């Protein structure tokens, strides 16, 4: 039976009311928290910091409005990303105002990248849907370049410097890898006939993961693996391959553990950080002290000492936030990532175009895996992997890549019609 | 700037009771506010998602008449549903308060109305700027709709379907 007409009106006005409330909540959070942070960092208070606060509030509001007006599809993704970003940047600014200002600049570029990604996919249409080898080639090339010319920072050879700008190619490989899996499953029939089906995907993924292990980048390797497994569960009927993969991964991890010193170190620190509390275990111990001293509601912004954790503004921002805003905020952040993941699955289920169906699934899985790995690592549930939380942590490459992926996810949520739009039963 | 800083110092960092200053009190109060704000934010998002699911269009075929989109939606810069089920009275226009609201700049705020009278549907233009056409013919008075008539409103084209 059909719903009565009136209900649709009520729903539409209700939704508009909720939308404006959501924008208002983001605004209130930024206003109150930035107010506190400015009072707290009073020694560094200049006209710039007031301009910064104004820009922060204005830009996030603007992006909420612009995305709603100029893109079709899912409206929630950008609002959640903005909320996560707000929580993150307040913390970064509180720890180090200069880094906060830089983060805001990167955010502006990131939102630009969001729109560029959206409209790029919008206008180039179906051109990318069968460029499987192109995406794979780019992914491998980017990693190979890093391996040769890369610089080592924080235990991983994953930085590259071009014209004075440092960036992490592995963050951008996530984008091309997601497109690669999407193009692969969009042309699954072809690969099944010619190139061994999912075996091809497995080999390609393991080559990339192998390079990550050589670079010492454990986290991205796990994210790639999770994305591949997730796509296989959803789009491949063969369960045998799935179990073979999990077995292979365990075996591979064991071999890697034996081969590479840096992986052994990470496991040792995870199992017993007290063995070297002032050296290798220092970071995770400080993180756990921070989480413990936070309690349920935290100590209040400006009243804790998140600065004592090394990398408190990037890898360990989750611990810093829990220290000053509490476990409940930590739970809220996990929930926000969960909603992004749920939206991704929903988009993937309702999308009819096979390419964007896979793309949505892979991208949302990557966000979820990243969040799970980082949160687990900071809380010492799993070994540290050197990843950062998407949208929250300080870091240009990560923020930019996350926004490009979000733009692609946004485009995937636009209902695509088959070329022949009209099918009328006579 | 220095005066402002010293002013802040004096207002927010003067010890009131013991080692308690105004800043500590504010920060302690606000930490609850922040958690409430973010949790309420999540609640609203979940609530909107719930509305979406509840509102998911049930298959209108077989139960009544509907408008079926002909124009390729990828060519349009605004959201258009693939199908609009028709009811007793249906206003079409750019304004969000219409039954069939399409954010097409070529549509007038209240563009046209499609209504059921004596068992068949009629279309009537409400004095729109760009007009409405039915099978290529401009709609001047109320015209009856037949199955598979082509309606164009602004630059969006629909097929009128009676349903089985």
* Cβ pair B39:A421 closer than 8 A: no
Minimum CA–CA partner of A295 in chain B: B31
Confidence label for A361 from pLDDT (cuts 50, 70 and 90): very high
Tell me, what's the pLDDT at A9? 65
Task: Give Cα separations from A330 to A60, A155, A195 (angstroms).
Answer: 22, 27, 45
* Cβ pair A300:B51 closer than 8 A: no
Strand (E) or helix (H) holding B100: strand B100-101
* Cβ pair A18:B73 closer than 8 A: no
pLDDT digits (tens, 9 = 90+) for A315-329: 889 999 999 999 999
pLDDT digits (tens, 9 = 90+) for A124-138: 867 778 888 888 888
Q: Which residue has the higher pLDDT, A414 or A26?
A: A26
pLDDT digits (tens, 9 = 90+) for A211-245: 888 887 888 888 999 999 888 888 887 778 888 88
By CB neighbour count within 10 A (0-12 exposed, 13-18 middle, 19+ buried), where does A217 fall?
buried
Residue indicated by tokens 């999407």: A182
Give the long-range contacts of residues B140-149, CB within 8 A, separation 24 or more: B144/B120, B145/B114, B145/B120, B145/B121, B148/A424
ipTM: 0.84
Chain A residue numbers touching B150 (CB-CB < 8 A): none
pLDDT digits (tens, 9 = 90+) for A256-294: 888 877 788 888 888 888 888 888 888 888 888 898 998
Confidence label for A417 from pLDDT (cuts 50, 70 and 90): low
Which of A158-167, A193-202, B105-114 has the lowest average pLDDT? A158-167
Query: Rounded CA gap, B153 and B95, in Å?
Result: 14
Tell me, what's the pLDDT at A198? 77
Q: What is the mean pLDDT of residues A199-203?
A: 84
Query: Rounded CA gap, A273 and A4, in Å?
Result: 62
Query: Rounded CA gap, A363 and A176, in Å?
Result: 11
Which of B34, B42, B74 faces A336 most closely, judged by CB atoms?
Answer: B42
Which of A5-19, A56-70, A161-175 has the lowest average pLDDT? A5-19
Tell me, what's the pLDDT at A81? 93
* Cβ pair B74:A72 closer than 8 A: no
What is the layout of strands, in order, in the sheet containing A156-162? Answer: A151-153, A156-162, A165-167
Picking from A332, A346, A425 by the largest number of B CB atoms within 10 A of its own CB, the best residue to mutate is: A332
Question: Of A320, A316, A329, whose CA–CA distance to A293 is shortest?
Answer: A320
Q: What is the DSSP letter of A414?
A: S
Tell me, what's the pLDDT at A8? 64
* Cβ pair B82:A417 closer than 8 A: yes
Query: Rounded CA gap, B132 and B124, in Å?
Result: 9
> How many CB pairs below 8 Å do chains A and B form together?
142
Chain B residue numbers touching A324 (CB-CB < 8 A): 31
Picking from B6, B37, B47 by the largest number of A CB atoms within 10 A of its own CB, the best residue to mutate is: B37
Q: What is the mean pLDDT of residues A182-206?
A: 81
* Cβ pair B99:A5 closer than 8 A: yes
* Cβ pair B159:A424 closer than 8 A: yes
* Residues facing residue B66 across a β-bridge: B85, B161
Minimum CA–CA partner of A298 in chain B: B31
pLDDT at A4 over 60: no
Question: Of A176, A122, A212, A213, whose CA–CA distance to A416 is shortest?
Answer: A122
Query: Rounded CA gap, A232 and A241, in Å?
Result: 9
Could you tell me if A261 and A214 are in contact, meaning their C-beta atoms sit under 8 angstroms apart? no
Structure tokens at A20: 């404006």
Do strands B143-144 and B120-125 pair parallel, antiparallel, or not at all (unpaired)? Answer: antiparallel
Minimum CA–CA partner of A4 in chain B: B87
Task: Give Cα separations from A318 to A75, A84, A311, A371, A379 (angstroms).
Answer: 26, 11, 11, 10, 9
Question: Of B48, B87, B82, whose CA–CA distance to A2 is shortest?
Answer: B87
* Cβ pair B51:A14 closer than 8 A: yes
Tell me, what's the pLDDT at A153? 63
pLDDT at A88 over 70: yes
* Cβ pair A300:B96 closer than 8 A: no
Picking from A39, A77, A420 by the largest number of B CB atoms within 10 A of its own CB, the best residue to mutate is: A39
CA trace torsion A293, A299, A303, A307 (10° rounding): 50
Query: Rounded CA gap, A55 and A40, in Å?
Result: 19
Could you tell me if A19 and B42 are in contact, meaning their C-beta atoms sit under 8 angstroms apart? no
Tell me, what's the pLDDT at B20? 82
Could you tell me if A227 and A365 are in contact, meaning their C-beta atoms sit under 8 angstroms apart? yes
pLDDT (tens digit, 0 to 9) for every residue of chain B, 164 residues total? Answer: 778 788 887 777 777 777 788 888 888 888 899 999 999 999 999 988 888 777 665 544 444 788 888 887 777 777 777 778 787 778 888 877 777 888 888 888 888 888 887 778 888 888 888 888 888 888 888 888 888 888 888 788 888 887 65
| Percent of chain A scoring above 70 in pLDDT | 92
Could you tell me if A417 and B74 are in contact, meaning their C-beta atoms sit under 8 angstroms apart? yes
Structure tokens at A233: 């569960």
Picking from B45, B62, B79, B86 by the largest number of A CB atoms within 10 A of its own CB, the best residue to mutate is: B45
Is A61 in the B-facing interface, judged by CB distances under 8 Å? no
Is A415 in the B-facing interface, judged by CB distances under 8 Å? yes
Cα A145–Cα A147–Cα A149 angle in degrees, nearest 5: 60
Chain B residue numbers touching A122 (CB-CB < 8 A): 74
Chain A (132-161) residues lying within 8 Å, Cβ to Cβ, of chain B: none
In three-state form (DSSP H/G/I as H, E/B as E, the rest C), the secondary structure along A235-288 is: HCCCHHHHHHHHHHHHHHHHHHHHHCHHHHHHHHHHHCHHHCCCCCCHHHHHHH
Which of B35, B70, B99 faces A329 most closely, judged by CB atoms?
Answer: B35
Confidence label for A109 from pLDDT (cuts 50, 70 and 90): very high
Tell me, what's the pLDDT at B62? 40
* Cβ pair A339:B49 closer than 8 A: yes
What is the average pLDDT score of chain A? Answer: 84
Could you tell me if B101 and B90 are in contact, meaning their C-beta atoms sit under 8 angstroms apart? no
Q: What is the mean pLDDT of residues A342-370?
A: 90
pLDDT digits (tens, 9 = 90+) for A382-403: 888 888 899 998 888 889 999 9
pLDDT at A412 over 50: yes
Minimum CA–CA partner of B21 in chain A: A303
Query: Mapping DSSP to helix (H, G, I), strand (E, B) and coil, where does residue B131 land?
Result: coil
Picking from B2, B9, B12, B34 by the largest number of A CB atoms within 10 A of its own CB, the best residue to mutate is: B34
pLDDT digits (tens, 9 = 90+) for A301-353: 888 888 788 888 888 899 999 999 999 999 999 999 999 999 999 899 888 88
Could you tell me if B125 and B111 are in contact, meaning their C-beta atoms sit under 8 angstroms apart? yes
* Cβ pair A332:B63 closer than 8 A: no
User: DSSP letters of A140-192?
Assistant: HHHHHHHHHH-EEETTEEEEEEETTEEE-HHHHHHHHHHHHHHHHHHTHHHHH
Tell me the nearest-neighbour CA distance from B67 into chain A, angstroms. 12
Structure tokens at A146: 């890093």
* Cβ pair A297:B69 closer than 8 A: no
């Amino acid at each position: 039976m059909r719903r009565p007409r009136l209900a649709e009106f009520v729903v539409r006005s209700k939704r508009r009311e909720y939308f404006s409330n959501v924008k208002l909540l983001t605004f209130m959070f930024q206003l109150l928290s930035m107010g506190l942070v400015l009072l707290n960092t009073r020694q560094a208070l200049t006209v710039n910091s007031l301009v910064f606060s104004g820009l922060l509030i204005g830009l996030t509001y603007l992006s909420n409005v612009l995305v709603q007006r100029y893109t079709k599809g899912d409206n929630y993704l950008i609002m959640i990303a903005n909320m996560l970003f707000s929580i993150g940047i307040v913390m970064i600014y509180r720890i180090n105002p200069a880094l906060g200002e830089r983060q805001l600049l990167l955010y502006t570029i990131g939102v630009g990248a969001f729109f560029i990604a959206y409209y790029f996919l919008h206008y180039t249409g179906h051109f990318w849907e069968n460029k499987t080898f192109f995406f794979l080639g780019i992914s491998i090339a980017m990693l190979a370049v890093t391996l040769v010319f890369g610089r080592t920072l924080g235990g991983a050879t994953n930085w590259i410097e071009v014209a004075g700008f440092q960036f992490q190619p592995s963050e951008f490989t996530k984008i091309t890898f997601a497109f690669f899996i999407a193009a692969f499953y969009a042309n699954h029939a072809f690969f099944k006939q010619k190139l061994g089906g999912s075996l091809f995907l497995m080999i390609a993924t393991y080559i990339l993961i192998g390079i990550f292990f050589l670079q010492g980048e454990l986290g991205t390797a796990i994210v790639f693996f999770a994305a591949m497994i997730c796509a296989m569960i959803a789009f491949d009927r063969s369960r045998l391959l799935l179990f073979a993969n999990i077995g292979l991964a365990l075996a591979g991890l064991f071999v890697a553990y034996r081969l590479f010193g840096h992986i052994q170190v990470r496991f040792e620190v995870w199992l017993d950080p007290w063995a070297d509390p002032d050296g290798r275990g220092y970071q995770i111990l400080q993180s756990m002290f921070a989480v413990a001293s936070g309690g349920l509601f935290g100590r209040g912004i400006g009243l804790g000492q998140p600065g004592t954790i090394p990398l408190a503004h990037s890898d360990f921002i989750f611990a810093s936030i829990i220290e000053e805003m509490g476990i409940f905020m930590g739970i809220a952040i996990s929930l926000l990532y969960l909603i992004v993941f749920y939206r991704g699955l929903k988009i993937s289920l309702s999308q009819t175009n096979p390419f964007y169906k896979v793309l949505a699934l892979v991208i949302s899985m990557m966000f979820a895996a990243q969040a799970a790995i980082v949160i687990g690592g900071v809380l010492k549930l799993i070994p540290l992997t050197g990843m950062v939380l998407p949208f929250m942590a300080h870091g240009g490459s990560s923020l930019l890549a996350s926004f490009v992926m979000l733009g692609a996810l946004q485009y995937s949520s636009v209902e695509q019609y088959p070329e022949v739009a009209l099918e009328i039963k006579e | 700037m220095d005066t402002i800083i010293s002013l802040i110092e004096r207002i927010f960092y003067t010890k009131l009771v013991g080692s308690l200053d105004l800043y500590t009190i504010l920060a302690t109060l606000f930490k609850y506010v922040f958690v409430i704000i973010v949790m309420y934010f999540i609640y609203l998002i979940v609530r909107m998602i719930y509305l979406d699911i509840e509102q998911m269009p049930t298959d209108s075929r077989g139960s009544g008449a509907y408008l079926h989109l002909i124009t390729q939606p990828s060519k349009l810069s605004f959201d258009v549903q693939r199908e609009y089920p028709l009811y007793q009275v249906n206003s079409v226009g750019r304004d969000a308060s219409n039954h069939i609201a399409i954010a097409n700049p070529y549509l007038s705020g209240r563009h046209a109305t499609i209504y059921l009278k004596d068992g068949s549907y009629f279309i009537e233009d409400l004095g729109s700027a760009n007009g409405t056409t039915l099978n290529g013919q401009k709609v001047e008075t109320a015209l009856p709709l037949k199955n598979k008539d082509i309606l164009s409103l602004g630059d969006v084209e629909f097929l009128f379907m009676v349903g089985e």
